[in-house]
Chains A and B, each alone.
Chain A
Amino acid sequence: MNIIAKALAATVFLAGSAGVHAETLRMWGPEQITEPLIAELWNGIKADFEAANPGVVVEFIPPTGTISNGAVQAALQSDVGPDVVLTNSGIGRITVVKNAKQIIPLTVYYESRGWKDKIYPWLYDELKGQYGGEIYEVPDGLDALGIWYHKDMFAEHDWNIPATWKEFVVLMKAIQDKGIQPLAVGPRTPGSAGHLFGNLLQSASGTLNVGKALRGELAWDDPAIAVGAVRLRELVDAGLIKKEMAGLDLDGASRLWFNKRAAMFVAGPWFTANARKAGYDLNNAGYLPMPSDISGEAKPTGGVGWSWLIPTNSKQPELALKWIDFMLSDGIMKKRAQHAASTMLYPRELKDIQPSTPVLKEIFAAAVTGVGYNPSVYLPADVVDTYFQVIQGLISAQVSGGDGMKQIQSKMAVVR
């Protein structure tokens, strides 16, 4: 009887102490956690973190969306949401949750926890310049959007990689003559519309002008920046980008490319995950930046693609900070960069790593000198919707390049 009583008391004590000490860190993300390869990587990271922090349990919340479609805001608003968030970012998106006071500023931790030294200096400067010195995100990965193509298709038809815009248009015509869609795009997914358009702006106007337009120093209907929109409409009018593409989303456009009914597709390193899921042979994927007639401006577009955020109503802010420390550590970052599930550029230079696929190696090489702007993630939230709708309008031939850019400019003027 005495033994039973002692055992019972011990059980109650253990249960009680577990209740006191067990801490759960609820994390929004990562995307596609239900994919076996991604789950393998993240469950490994989770196990490492839990081992390093006894009594802590990490719980993944599979994302139902992003800031762009309001899913993150809704989760945070619920007050039973995540303690730390990993989501698609960029100033346009972060501003939405920052203005709603749904996330806390992290500026002090960049100094006190040494995060400043764990990201590219240019990246830190960029973040510092966004909200008058206050930083609300910790970059997890960068995007590098460029043109994906089928190596075997190009070899079979003897198509060469274009060096200028004129050569690019000639190539598109040659592809069309073979009965293949030159370029697939899925503008029903706003991001996908922005990937192509950002590449066109970069190619036609260069990083400097796109940056000026984003900062409001150059009007969007100025010919120096509007030329990218004019080019898109010209491609549509020439049938080189089918108007019907306006009815496709990212999955639909990807399907067109994976099935080789389209020769090219604008995407970032994350497309490796989509390709793997579709059973596409990643060794056959080639990558090139959109050709430009401006010297040195044929480069990928991107910027901060994914970031860590800490919600204002996080129940475990200290643990969230520890988690971010952990994710920025050398061991974890290298582990991720070399894992087959790796789908992005990392926020600092990682030496002696071997990307898991040849196309990732090409993307890393193309982005080594930096990337241009992807306006989708830099435009203010109130403008970005107009921006996406204008791109849809251009692809469905409802609006001219000049008029479309005027609409973006008028929205920018209101916001500023």
Chain B
Amino acid sequence: MRVQALENIAGGAAETSPPRKWGLLPASHANVGTAFWLMAPAIAVYGTFTLVPIAVTFLLSFTNSAGFNTAADFVGVENYRKAMQDPIVWQALWQTVIWLIYHVVLAGGLGLALALAIARLRRSQVFFRTAFFLPHLVSLAVVGVIWANIYDPFFGLLNTGLVEIGLGSWTQGWLSDPSLVLFSVNVASSWQGFGLYMLLFIAGLQDIDPALYDAAEVDGANGWQKLIHVTLPGLREVMTFVMSLAMINGLKGFATVFVMTNGGPFYQSELITTYIYRLAFQSQQHGLAAVLCILLSLFAITITVAFNRWRARMAR
């Protein structure tokens, strides 16, 4: 009945509605012009720093440009063919996927775990919140240098610590072992990122109605059941937001890899972003690098669309 009433109101409103207005003023060409000029700075900035670079990148991908000082020739889809045939591109793409998963699980997971651990604290929560957030204030390049030293196989904190506590057999070549290197670098990157996710989760936890926990307790739920049936469902919106953010940050992974391994050893930590940098600014192959930028964009769009569809389905 209520829905019907609303539809009636809407229908009635449509029949009798006055001419469309721009805010409080009647619509006119002059006002459209005003609106345009008010938006112009934002459009100009967006166009200059987003749309134009996208267009230039797209055009570059069809040239053999070696830099802005050179006359670039149109080479058709040659760069696309080269990219498809380059095994490093596929390896880097696959490693980017792995990197992204590591980041979501490590940084997102740690952020959630710590949020759950400190959300109920009363006096010391501010201290822990600040302490855990601090790494986020450190630049990724500095984080890379710090962790590269922690991972030093001979003098590093990790290996020497393991030896000191009698676990010498656990020491590893954290940055030299091909099966470990991507994970090791990701730990450094996630260490820098988890603080933000933790704060978001804490905010989400504070939004959950305490009455739900009381009700669960009355029903005899234990801690684990409360977590599964109250806390996690209550964090659904925050979780999807954190996952989106973590995926975007994961795709942007560059600085720690660049500083800590430069993609090595033997391409085992190469990401699409580091390979783009290498091609564009070390080899000056701007055309090929532009193709990889487009590939990365398509990859990001695909992941985002897939994630949003999954989120919509979950919401239903």
Residues of chain A having any CB pair with chain B under 8 Å: 68-70, 73-74, 77, 96-97, 99-102, 181, 187-188, 190, 242-249, 252, 255-256, 259, 261, 312, 381-382, 385, 388-390, 392-393, 395-396, 398-399
Complex Cα distance, B245 from A166, in Å, reads 57
Q: Are B176 and A244 in contact (CB under 8 A)?
A: yes
Is residue B262 contacting chain A, with contact meaning CB distance below 8 A? Answer: yes
Complex CA distance for A381 and B280, rounded to whole angstroms: 12
A-chain residues with CB within 8 Å of residue B173 when the two chains form the complex: 243-244, 246-247, 396
The number of inter-chain residue pairs (CB within 8 angstroms) is: 116
A380 to chain B, nearest CB (A): 9
0/1 string, B94-124, CB within 8 A of A gives 1: 0000000000000000000000000000000
**Cα–Cα, bound, A99→B68 (Å):** 11
Which residues from B are CB-within-8-Å of A242?
Answer: 153
Closest to A95 in B: B284
Indicate if the CB atoms of A100 and B284 lie closer than 8 Å.
Answer: yes
**Cβ–Cβ contact A382 & B283, under 8 A:** yes
Residue pair B178, A398 in contact (C-beta under 8 Å): yes
B262 cross-chain contacts in A, Cβ below 8 A: 188, 190
Query: What B residues does A248 contact at CB under 8 A?
Result: 152-154, 176
Do A73 and B266 touch (CB < 8 A)? no
Contact A246 B70 (CB under 8 A): no
A selection of 7 A-B contacts at a CB cut-off of 8 Å is A73-B67, A99-B284, A101-B66, A101-B69, A246-B176, A248-B152, A252-B148
The answer for the CA separation of A207 and B173 in the assembled complex, in Å, is 34
CB of B129 within 8 Å of the partner chain: no
What sequence of 0s and 1s flags, for each residue 162-177 of chain B, a beta carbon within 8 Å of any chain A beta carbon?
Answer: 0000000000011111
Q: Are B266 and A398 in contact, CB atoms less than 8 angstroms apart?
A: yes
Give chain B nearest CB distance to A195 CB in angstroms.
16
Across the interface, which residues of A come within 8 angstroms of B177, CB to CB?
Answer: 243, 247, 396
Cβ-based interface call for B285 (8 A): yes
* Nearest 9 A/B pairs, CB to CB: A70-B281, A393-B266, A100-B67, A247-B175, A246-B176, A247-B176, A244-B153, A392-B265, A244-B173
B284 to A96, Cβ gap below 8 A?
yes
Q: Which residue of B lies closest to A253 (CB)?
A: B154
Q: B266 touches which one: A99, A190, A244, A399 (CB < 8 A)?
A: A399
Q: Does B234 contact A (CB under 8 A)?
A: no
Asked if B66 and A390 sit within 8 Å, CB to CB, the answer is: no
**Do B154 and A69 touch across chains, with their CB atoms under 8 A apart?**
no
List residues of B (235-294) whose CB comes within 8 Å of A's CBs: 260-268, 277-278, 280-285
Asked if B194 is an interface residue, CB under 8 A from chain A, the answer is no
The answer to whether B154 and A261 have CB atoms under 8 Å apart is: yes
- Which residues of chain B have C-beta atoms less than 8 A from A96's C-beta? 282-284
- A residues within 8 A CB of B62? none
Main secondary structure of the interface of B (DSSP, over half): loop
Chain A residue at minimum C-beta to C-beta distance from B281: A70
Q: Which residue numbers of B lie inside 8 Å of A, CB to CB?
A: 66-70, 148, 151-155, 173-178, 181, 260-268, 277-278, 280-285
Q: How far is the CB of B143 from chain A (nearest CB, A)?
A: 16
Query: Do residues B174 and A99 form an inter-chain contact, with CB atoms below 8 A?
Result: no
CB-nearest residue of chain A to B175: A247
Residues of A within 8 A of B66 (CB): 99-101
How far is it, in angstroms, between the C-alpha of A252 and the C-alpha of B260 when the chains are bound?
12
Pair B151/A247 contact, Cβ less than 8 Å: yes
* A-B contact sample (10 more), CB < 8 A, given A255-B155, A385-B283, A388-B264: A69-B282, A96-B283, A100-B70, A101-B70, A102-B67, A188-B148, A247-B151, A247-B152, A261-B154, A393-B265
User: Distance in Å from the Cβ of B162 to the closest Cβ of chain A?
Assistant: 13
CB–CB A382/B285 < 8 A? yes
The answer to whether B265 and A244 touch across the interface, beta carbons within 8 angstroms, is no
Given A99-B70, A100-B66, A396-B177, residue A246 in contact with residue B282 (CB < 8 A): no
Tell me the complex Cα distance, A96–B282, Å: 8
Within 8 Å CB of A181, what residues of B? 154
B255 to chain A, nearest CB (A): 13
- By beta carbon, the residue of chain B nearest A67 is B282
Query: Residue among B68, B70, B260, B283 with the most chain A CB within 10 A?
Result: B283
Q: Is B266 in contact with A188, judged by CB distance below 8 angstroms?
A: no
- Asked if residues B154 and A244 are in contact (CB atoms below 8 Å), the reply is yes
List B contacts of A245 (CB < 8 A): 153, 176
**How far, in angstroms, from A399 to B268 measured CA to CA in the complex?**
12
A385 CB contacts on chain B under 8 angstroms:
278, 282-283
Find chain A residues with CB under 8 A from B152 CB.
247-248, 252
Which chain B residue lies CB-closest to A414?
A: B82
Q: Are A77 and B67 within 8 A (Cβ)?
A: yes
Closest A residue to B262 by beta carbon equals: A188
Chain A residues with CB under 8 Å of B174's CB are 247
CB pair B282–A381 under 8 Å, yes or no, is: yes
CB-nearest residue of chain A relative to B265? A392
Q: Give A244 to B155 CA distance when docked, in angstroms.
A: 12
Whether B69 lies near A389 (C-beta < 8 A) is no
Q: With both chains docked as a complex, state the minimum distance between the C-beta of B247 and any C-beta of chain A, in angstroms.
A: 27
Q: How far is the CA of A256 from the CA of B269 in the complex (A)?
A: 24
Chain A residues with CB under 8 Å of B175's CB are 188, 246-247
When A70-B282, A73-B284, A246-B265 are in contact, do A396 and B151 touch as well, CB less than 8 Å? no
Cβ B176 vs Cβ A243 within 8 A: yes
Report Cα–Cα, A382/B288, bound state, in Å: 12
Give B65's nearest chain A residue, CB to CB: A100
Residues of chain A contacted by B267 (CB below 8 angstroms)? 389
- A246–B175 Cα gap in the complex (Å)? 7
Residue pair B265, A395 in contact (C-beta under 8 Å): yes
CA distance in complex: A236, B66 (Å):
38
B264/A68 in contact, CB under 8 A: no
Residues in chain B near residue A261, CB distance under 8 A? 154
Q: How far is the CA of A389 from the CA of B269 in the complex (A)?
A: 11
Given contacts A99-B66, A247-B173, contact A389 B283 (CB under 8 A): no
Give the shortest distance, in Å, between A146 (CB) and chain B (any CB): 23
Interchain CA distance A100-B176 in the complex, whole Å? 34
Q: Shortest Cβ distance from A275 into chain B, in angstroms?
A: 18
Instruction: Kindly provide the distance from the CB of A119 to the nearest chain B CB, expressed in whole angstroms.
Output: 27
Q: Report which of A247, A312, A382 forms a contact with B69, defined as CB distance below 8 A.
A: A312
Tell me the smallest distance from the CB of A183 to a CB of chain B, in Å.
Answer: 13
Instruction: Choose among B260, B266, B278, B280 the residue that contacts A390 (Cβ–Cβ < 8 A).
Output: B266
Taking a contact as CB atoms under 8 Å apart, the answer to whether B148 and A249 are in contact is: yes
Across the interface, which residues of B come within 8 angstroms of A255, CB to CB?
A: 155
Q: Verify B283–A188 contact, CB threshold 8 A.
A: no
State how many angstroms separate the Cβ of B56 from the closest Cβ of chain A: 14
Bound-state Cα–Cα, A245 to B70, Å: 40
Of A73, A259, A385, A395, the most chain B CB neighbours within 10 A belong to A385
Determine how close the nearest CB of chain A comes to the CB of B266; give it in whole angstroms: 3
